[in-house]
Amino acid sequence: MQYKTKSVASFVVAILSLVSPPISANAPFELMGKTTNTGHKTSYMANKKEVSLPVTVINGEKEGPVLLLTAGIHGDEYPSMFALQQLQQSINPKEMSGVLVVVHLANLDGFHEHRLALNPRDEKNLNREFPGSADGTPTEQIADLLTKEFISKADFLVDMHSGSANQSLLNHVYSPFIGDEALDELTLAFAKATGMQHIVLYGDRPKDPNNSISYPNTAMTRGKPGLTTEIGHLAQSKEEFVKDAFTVARNTMVFLDMLEGEPAEHPEPIIYETLKSAKSTTTGFFQPAVVIGDKVQQGQEVGTVLDYFGNQVETITAPISGTVMMVNQTPPIKSAESVVTIGVEVVQ
Ligand SMILES: [Zn+2]
């Protein structure tokens, strides 16, 4: 397989040599008991015990890597769900290299019950339950299945999110690092290849594969690049959000030479070394004083809290100077909850 830059290619070779034996895209691809032959596409419900996942497998005509794209880890984050439906419909397996595995909606119960982040069957956040447990609660079972059946067969993962119903956000991609130089550099190259401008370096997850916590970190701790994208917000499915998510997903396939196309790296990427949140110390109604993309100075007002009677009880200020990445956009706020998240750029 060919990659877009020589430096990236050397990392890919290094990484692929670490993962247990490479799966030939020329062979039939088996997933959850279903086989997708070379040059074919299958969409089906992958079922095991209490878990049911809508999945598409596209087994390309030519050899290449296995890319896993996932939407709906949180059930009210819709743009990438629509984007991945459109992506699978747009691809002709005869013209594709490698294998694309799409999990269209990982938290089906959260989706149907209109839940913000959690699974109503056990009130757990799937993105905090990895690597999961085959005998655990429904959310732990989903995590276990994604770890053992999906990540184990993939070379690259993109976990696609959006802002929930209460949250506006500036589109961004998390590029995790775990202290493995080759893997970390390949992951950053992969993050840049999404074409997204705002890239957040992220290194605060455990390095233990048996306590990987999040979905992308489960990939990282198994030697595979795992990105999180955040595209669109406020539980909306606006056409522009869906289009952005579609473009990002497609760009990752172009980077991996699964589809024809030109590299889409943003001409002016902005890399953030950390995110810091301003939190409320009171409970009541939050009113933001900033919008996503604003540049704020440490100490600047970012919002106020009113009590239930309309009296202002708190002025919240920026804990650090930077760019406003996320805002709690709806009124309900409790003490210690995050109201505004600020990205701090890497000093060049
Ligand atoms: Zn999410």
For residue 172, the number of C-alpha atoms closer than 13 Å in the C-beta half-sphere is 28
**Considering the domain boundaries, does residue 28 fall inside one?**
yes
Based on the domain organization, do 25 and 112 belong to the same domain? yes
pLDDT of residue 2: 38
**Considering the domain boundaries, does residue 291 fall inside one?**
yes
| Domain stop point among 255, 285, 302 | 255
Instruction: Tell me 16's DSSP state.
Output: H
Based on the domain organization, do 232 and 280 belong to the same domain? no
Residue 18 and residue 1 in contact, taking contact as beta carbons nearer than 8 Å: no
Amino acid at site 175:
S
5 Cα: distance to centroid of ligand 1 (angstroms): 31
82 Cα: distance to centroid of ligand 1 (angstroms): 15
Based on the domain organization, do 233 and 280 belong to the same domain? no
40 Cα: distance to centroid of ligand 1 (angstroms): 31
**Considering the domain boundaries, does residue 87 fall inside one?**
yes
DSSP assignment string, 153-198: G-SEEEEEE---TTEEE--EEEEE--S-HHHHHHHHHHHHHTT-SE
pLDDT of residue 7: 46
Based on the domain organization, do 282 and 233 belong to the same domain? no
The one-digit pLDDT tens for each residue of the chain (348 residues) are: 334 443 454 455 445 545 544 444 469 999 999 999 999 999 999 999 989 999 999 999 999 999 999 999 999 999 999 999 999 999 999 999 999 999 999 999 999 999 988 999 999 999 999 999 999 999 999 999 999 999 999 999 999 999 999 999 999 999 999 999 999 999 999 999 999 999 999 998 899 999 999 999 999 999 999 999 999 999 999 999 999 999 999 999 999 999 999 989 999 999 999 999 999 999 999 999 999 999 999 999 999 999 999 999 999 999 999 999 999 999 999 999 999 999 999 987
104 Cα: distance to centroid of ligand 1 (angstroms): 14
Based on the domain organization, do 296 and 233 belong to the same domain? no
Domain that holds residue 304: 274-345
229 Cα: distance to centroid of ligand 1 (angstroms): 9
Rounded Cα distance between 179 and 238, Å, is: 38
Based on the domain organization, do 228 and 325 belong to the same domain? no
Using one digit for the tens of pLDDT, what is the confidence trace for 221-231?
999 999 999 99
Based on the domain organization, do 237 and 136 belong to the same domain? yes
163 Cα: distance to centroid of ligand 1 (angstroms): 7
Based on the domain organization, do 175 and 280 belong to the same domain? no
If one counts the domains in the chain, the total is 2
**Considering the domain boundaries, does residue 260 fall inside one?**
no
**Residues within 5 A (CB) of ion ligand 1:** 74, 77, 161
**Considering the domain boundaries, does residue 264 fall inside one?**
no
Domain harbouring 296, CATH code: 2.40.50.100
Based on the domain organization, do 179 and 318 belong to the same domain? no
Strand 97-103 with 118-119, pairing: unpaired
**Considering the domain boundaries, does residue 266 fall inside one?**
no
Based on the domain organization, do 167 and 21 belong to the same domain? yes
Nearest 5°: the CA angle 282, 284, 285 is: 120
pLDDT of residue 9: 43
**Considering the domain boundaries, does residue 20 fall inside one?**
yes
| Domain stop point among 209, 227, 255 | 255
Domain harbouring 192, CATH code: 3.40.630.10
Based on the domain organization, do 11 and 160 belong to the same domain? yes
159 Cα: distance to centroid of ligand 1 (angstroms): 9
Amino acid at site 169:
L
137 Cα: distance to centroid of ligand 1 (angstroms): 20
pLDDT of residue 26: 67
37 Cα: distance to centroid of ligand 1 (angstroms): 33
Residue 265 is encoded by which pair of tokens? 């790296």
| Domain stop point among 222, 255, 288 | 255
Residue 150 and residue 314 in contact, taking contact as beta carbons nearer than 8 Å: no
Does the model's pTM come out above 0.85?
A: yes
**Considering the domain boundaries, does residue 335 fall inside one?**
yes
Residue 109 is encoded by which pair of tokens? 């119960």
Using one digit for the tens of pLDDT, what is the confidence trace for 33-52?
999 999 999 999 999 998 99
Based on the domain organization, do 204 and 85 belong to the same domain? yes
